[in-house]
Structure 1
């Protein structure tokens, strides 16, 4: 099992099929919190649904297209973070993330993404990382803003969440900007 230590409280563990029950329980208890901004929440109705997605995520890992982690906070799964849509020709990727409702407000995600940027830029030798966040999701948008990302644009009506179109704000960070 591949793990990556963030700090004394947080580590990242490659998502595995064995995590499906715990991940489903976290999503289920955080369903109302997550579905405000995550289009996939209503599609997750069982442990098997998580298992199927995790299988696809492991295939993406073996094909070097993505790395999907569970966030371990004090030895419990608190959420997920991914380096996804890796384009090796451009050396670029996107980071996506979510936390269970009981884990928000503890600084977990900003520490996690900061550490993941070190991993992406220094271990994977990526050149650019993007983070996309819904325009109204201030908590999610605060992560790239606090970490020095540049707001590069907006995709209008890019997602349909609860029957309403939502604009997505696109943030970008280059490797040499991270080292500054």
Structure 2
């Protein structure tokens, strides 16, 4: 099975797999500081606790090894400022993957999410059989929608969704980026 690298260096930005309990205190603190920023849009903010942070970190290695979820800490200037991941969802065909991301508010507006998502797209298209990547967010979350728009994703569809966070409207906006024509996993690795 193809697996992406556990560390992706992007100049001053690093995406790296989580280091289990070694990351617990820092991740917990970043989420704690960002709760007001995250709470309107992400369901995990409502259940944020030390136990949920440990549980999240404990599941990462198994999900990575199985190919279900490649979750990275977003590290800027040596500190975790958020998280991003490349996921296989049960409602996503095998030839597609979904990308999710969140940032501490101090890291927003600096291109961090855009660079992280671009790197995850490159990794997705290196995986055998993956021909598209999707980003799903609530239709009212314009900040999340700005990232795929900047990267050349197109709006694929909108669908009703059960609201999971306080600001959710009940409508998901799904963006899609398709593997560039003529690009194969081997060609992507070489280029």
Fold match, TM over 0.5? yes
Cα offset for 1:160? 3.1
Name structure 1 gaps, 5 residues minimum.
none
Q: Distance in 2 between matches of 1:160 and 1:89?
A: 23
Residue 135 of structure 2 corresponds to residue 127 of structure 1: no
Residue 75 of structure 2 corresponds to residue 67 of structure 1: no
Q: Out of 11, 16, 26, which is 2:14 matched to?
A: 11
Sort the Cα spacing of 1:110 and 1:177 in 2 relative to 1 into closer, same or farther, 3 A: farther
Q: Out of 34, 38, 56, which is 1:53 matched to?
A: 56
Q: Is the 8 A contact 2:41 2:168 kept in 1?
A: no
**Matched position secondary structure for 1:77:** strand
CA RMSD of aligned residues (A): 2.2
Sort the Cα spacing of 1:66 and 1:104 in 2 relative to 1 into closer, same or farther, 3 A: same
Residue 121 of structure 2 corresponds to residue 117 of structure 1: yes
* Alignment TM-score, normalising by the size of structure 1: 0.89
Q: Distance in 1 between matches of 2:78 and 2:29?
A: 15
Residue 164 of structure 2 corresponds to residue 160 of structure 1: yes
Match of 1:106 in 2: 110
Match of 1:76 in 2: 79
The number of residue pairs the alignment matches comes to 176
Question: Which structure: greater strand fraction?
Answer: 1
* Alignment TM-score, normalising by the size of structure 2: 0.84
Deviating runs (4+, > 4 A) in structure 1?
Answer: 86-89
Cα offset for 1:137? 0.9
Q: Is the 8 A contact 1:95 1:131 kept in 2?
A: yes
Cα offset for 1:64? 1.3
